[in-house]
Structure 1
């Protein structure tokens, strides 16, 4: 039985501490008799003593470039309780900023208190905010199935929308409300997006650990700015801590589908100006709660599941929100924008009626925006193209109060008469026509492009079919690992960067993942240049080391960072030709031989990949053939996609009666 003083760590955690892949740790375990003995877990998922692992890594010189944050996190995880570990992280953050601060949560165990003191010292040495964000991110990753957070890009977009939609200049400062703040993603985004002189952040959270973490996060933002924060621990619907307070903007990602939200005890609450929300519509209670806290002309943005826009039980309240002009716009987001990632969530944009000179007659329409086309689906979880999504949504909302300006394609002003029917369905996709179809001129241009592709494809086919290819020959081979040892190339493994805590600014680099490769091969996000671990320059060889996406190619274009299971190879041009190397590596048989064959998600041990042993001058002929093969494959893929799209468009036109001959 493991002693309670022993902190267990897995192979994956050891790899993270040492800054290597898990396979490297498995190799250490096999090759070194001195490697720590398993103290728990199973043969498949063994666990080891953190103290013994740390000592072994130090003794073997494998901790030179690794910070101490990776070593301290497993001790937080070993506290066991989600609540205690979260409170300990929050307390450590307070002590990082104020070394003499007293513990505010006396229920913390002696082990947790000691860990708080050690983490606070570490934070003061390595950077308080960076250390806290590291510990917070690890905590969120550990308890991801129990929590629903707002991704930083979405939080920033929600705040930008609220700032753009509200009426009034706000010269006297800005008050922001988030009545279900979680760990403070939306409040932090408000502090980062608002560049005014005075800012007041009001937030509420009923979970003790989440409230403490939100307070710690916002504490770092108020250090050098005129920002007042108040975070209350309460149930906003049942026991509103900000009753009577009015905000300029409100942003919220409320809990979904909670039937026990206080229906019975809140039946006569004055907040229900648009009707008592049915027991099955807690989201409409949050919508009215936000409206009740807005100043005249103030705006609210709330993240909701798509069913709220169409459920029969809520149609009366939706109708009232539309008739009074409170519900100004609905935006359908791409799947993957936030949890649950498989659902196309919606943003409801609300605005309180203005008074005085800013007052306007009730609107006769609502703006509906379908932004689902900005999805970038991957194999596990899709992720949006945040830059394109944000630009499109903000451009659409810029037309909200200008009847003379047409919304962009994919958005539409829908008359209230069309919405206030028996269903009162405000789902954007039900009211917005598909993107404009190709006109005859566009079709002709695309047919010309397709014909040109076929000509190029035929040229490559003639060259490749004329090759004199022998079978059964045995040539001398070497492995990629041996080439690395010989100094013919360098190898760098991609890594997953930490989750950004703020919108990316400054110098950036595109970031490619395996999911991007399986979708369309285009990087799905950008990273700050200084956070990129492995960057491919023009002429480097990139290898995908997983069976389902196995490939190798020579990178062309500007620098690009790569994620886990992707590798960057930089050749010595006096020993290797990059196109020759990539062609040898991407041979399907090569991948099958180096793969584990356990499943389609199995990894390829790229050091085992084989390469022909040829002098540089003989590599050139092979390199040219490999270039031709790569171009042939690319042309096939492009022609396939364009041909299917053309067939679909022409079919639509003909089926609609467009055949004139």
Structure 2
């Protein structure tokens, strides 16, 4: 098992595992791999973690990856993948001389597929066949993005009956198309392993028998002359696609011959060439396609023909995309129909800077509101209601003639920000300023409240650990029990609060499986919720309130329930969050050794005074966070309004001294 896989199981960062290795001489030594990517014995790591109070989640996919590394070479895995056949128990090998190692892998593969789904299990096998690198799925598209792209095919005249993906990778887009009514699926991939994977995934997850070919679609099209209702694809963007190998009179280049650095525009025209008149293509492309100078002639030809209907910028940091450092875009194209009028406008959507995209923490993106926004504005636009498809700071409809300038820049962001309603922006600015003033007032009140303390000489308290208090019945320390069920239906899942929710201050976002013969741990008002692992800037605790009451306890969180006749919860929480717990397991995360936390033994009335002080400090932190969010909102709204010409400074808002001061204010 690699260090990355260990970090995923335990719920810490990869850097934390690296620090464990450096700081703890007893951390298990590598048993294989390389100097830069060592592999560890998982049983030894589990024992080491258990000695330090760390729990590891049961993860079938990681178990499968571990067994593959120990049982099969990459060549063996490639042969096994190519010969897999579905069976009632999962999959069987077509090789009559199946070894015990292969039989064991097939059993683990079937279990992983049952728990995590066939696609994830088969992808793990394909990754190992590629040499064990987990980022080898060159055309892997996140399932949520694939679902949105398939939904953007609707409505077509008769439904997307026949769909092609000329760079199908693992088949996620073909599966999404089948789930929305596609009855004929065609795919091609340059990697033989990926093509086999796509065939198996489609076979396992749909009832459609897909026609999957191996080869380079741009140079060796496996389906010449095929016309489909829709093309769905997430092709790999390359710096040089060997343009000199194609004929200049290739009928696919109806909008111009792509240069050797313009592989994305070659894929665009390849997709259009395979569409029937009126058919639709939805492609996931890197953002530079919309503005790259070498592609402006082809972009202009696409616009003039009415082939390009929408450009949609997605949020950055989407997981599993090779272009994670860029803003990926969805391009929607339609094959011009000679019997229909030429489209004279294009929908431009920018979700990258919207509130929905920014609501995630770290690398996460709150995807549902992003997808809903895209679906809403696209369906409104395609129904002919262009005015309703324009939403402030989200989308705008631009006439083709206005896009045909010297650059033919189709990047949505600048045009979306300029197409805003001054009245709406003014209202948003007033609302944001009102919120800022209210939060600043709350922060001032909170800062006054925390000052109600006085000096005392060093207190000499008797203390007891939480473990001792639990033994005496003054507190109960609870954790959610890991589920061993393989059920995955939504009705088997309950909303749960996680350690991440507490550390980030967000609402409950987790899901846990409920066992038929056991009850979930439910949060009660007054419970102290403590993350098992928290970053140095994360919140140290949360006191259960009405919002958390009845919610299940999720992973990576511990619950301290006090006897209200003996201990004040805010008093206990303050000492849990305010005392240095000693050496941690890493510098990037603080392991919460809750049972060792010492609590002073004070009368209840005195506890309550301390508890009130801790509560006020907690409110001060919350007020500061809210004020910071309000400042960001004011700056964003007003900057947008000033840049777009929807707002202007009032007379007398600046002086000559202000303007001349490089620090931005009068001295």
TM-score clears 0.5? yes
Q: Please state whether the residue corresponding to 2:246 is helix, strand or coil.
A: coil
Question: 1:235 Cα shift?
Answer: 1.6
TM-score (norm 1): 0.77
Q: What is the distance in 1 between the residues matched to 2:574 and 2:290?
A: 52
Q: What is the distance in 2 between the residues matched to 1:256 and 1:411?
A: 26
Higher RCO (C-alpha under 8 Å, 6+ residues apart): 2
Q: Please state whether the residue corresponding to 2:416 is helix, strand or coil.
A: coil
1:15-414 equivalent positions in 2, closer than 5 A: 39=31, 71-78=63-70, 84-85=76-77, 88=80, 91=83, 94=86, 102-103=94-95, 114-122=100-108, 128=114, 130=116, 132-133=118-119, 135-136=121-122, 138=124, 143-148=133-138, 149-164=140-155, 166=156, 168-170=157-159, 174-192=161-179, 194=180, 196=181, 199-222=183-206, 225=207, 227-337=208-318, 338-354=321-337, 359-372=339-352, 373=354, 374-376=356-358, 382-401=363-382, 402-403=384-385, 405-407=387-389, 408-409=391-392, 410-414=394-398
**Does the 8 A contact of 1:481 with 1:607 survive in 2?**
yes
Question: 1:421 Cα shift?
Answer: 1.1
Alignment-derived partner of residue 404 in structure 2: 420
Tell me the matched-pair count: 615
Deviations along 1:463-519, one digit per CA (max 9) or x if unpaired, are: 33223353532323344555566663334389999xxx99x89966377675x778x
Question: 1:627 Cα shift?
Answer: 2.0
Deviations along 1:546-582, one digit per CA (max 9) or x if unpaired, are: 2242522224425778987x42314154565443332
Question: 1:177 Cα shift?
Answer: 1.3
Q: Please state whether the residue corresponding to 1:76 is helix, strand or coil.
A: helix
**Does the 8 A contact of 1:205 with 1:236 survive in 2?**
yes
**Does the 8 A contact of 1:476 with 1:612 survive in 2?**
yes
Q: Please state whether the residue corresponding to 2:284 is helix, strand or coil.
A: strand
Deviations along 1:178-229, one digit per CA (max 9) or x if unpaired, are: 111111121222233x1x4x6222121221222222222112123xx4x232
Q: Please state whether the residue corresponding to 2:162 is helix, strand or coil.
A: strand
Q: Please state whether the residue corresponding to 1:396 is helix, strand or coil.
A: helix
Correspondence 1:659 to 2:651: yes
Alignment-derived partner of residue 568 in structure 1: 558
Q: What is the distance in 1 between the residues matched to 2:103 and 2:559?
A: 43
Q: What is the distance in 1 between the residues matched to 2:12 and 2:368?
A: 32
Q: What is the distance in 2 between the residues matched to 1:53 and 1:637?
A: 38
Q: Please state whether the residue corresponding to 1:431 is helix, strand or coil.
A: helix
Correspondence 1:489 to 2:469: no
Q: What is the distance in 2 between the residues matched to 1:20 and 1:379?
A: 15
Q: What is the distance in 2 between the residues matched to 1:238 and 1:124?
A: 37
Alignment-derived partner of residue 542 in structure 2: 553
TM-score (norm 2): 0.77
Q: Structure 1 residues 650, 368: closer, same or farther in 2, change over 3 A?
A: closer
Question: 1:426 Cα shift?
Answer: 0.6
Question: 1:628 Cα shift?
Answer: 2.0
Counterpart selection for 1:626 from 581, 592, 614: 614
Q: What is the distance in 1 between the residues matched to 2:232 and 2:364?
A: 22
**Does the 8 A contact of 1:87 with 1:209 survive in 2?**
no
Q: Please state whether the residue corresponding to 1:212 is helix, strand or coil.
A: helix
**Does the 8 A contact of 1:508 with 1:526 survive in 2?**
no
Counterpart selection for 1:465 from 429, 437, 451: 451
Deviations along 1:53-86, one digit per CA (max 9) or x if unpaired, are: 99999xxxx9999687754431212367556536
Q: Structure 1 residues 304, 55: closer, same or farther in 2, change over 3 A?
A: closer
Q: Structure 1 residues 209, 580: closer, same or farther in 2, change over 3 A?
A: farther
Aligned-CA RMSD value: 4.8
Q: Please state whether the residue corresponding to 2:209 is helix, strand or coil.
A: strand
**Does the 8 A contact of 1:534 with 1:568 survive in 2?**
no
Alignment-derived partner of residue 509 in structure 1: 495
Q: What is the distance in 1 between the residues matched to 2:400 and 2:5?
A: 56
Q: Structure 1 residues 461, 201: closer, same or farther in 2, change over 3 A?
A: same
Correspondence 1:582 to 2:573: yes
Q: What is the distance in 2 between the residues matched to 1:56 and 1:467?
A: 44
**Does the 8 A contact of 1:89 with 1:135 survive in 2?**
no
More moved, 384-393 vs 82-91: 82-91
Deviations along 1:364-420, one digit per CA (max 9) or x if unpaired, are: 11111111123237776x332211101111111123231454222221111111111
Alignment-derived partner of residue 5 in structure 1: none
**Does the 8 A contact of 2:283 with 2:331 survive in 1?**
yes
**Does the 8 A contact of 1:506 with 1:528 survive in 2?**
no
Q: What is the distance in 2 between the residues matched to 1:650 and 1:468?
A: 43
Q: Structure 1 residues 463, 38: closer, same or farther in 2, change over 3 A?
A: closer
**Does the 8 A contact of 2:137 with 2:170 survive in 1?**
no
Q: What is the distance in 2 between the residues matched to 1:460 and 1:56?
A: 44
**Does the 8 A contact of 1:332 with 1:428 survive in 2?**
yes
Alignment-derived partner of residue 6 in structure 1: none
Q: Structure 1 residues 634, 122: closer, same or farther in 2, change over 3 A?
A: closer
Q: Please state whether the residue corresponding to 1:186 is helix, strand or coil.
A: helix
Q: What is the distance in 2 between the residues matched to 1:48 and 1:264?
A: 46
Q: Structure 1 residues 399, 237: closer, same or farther in 2, change over 3 A?
A: same
Q: Which runs of 5+ in 2 are unaligned?
A: 654-667
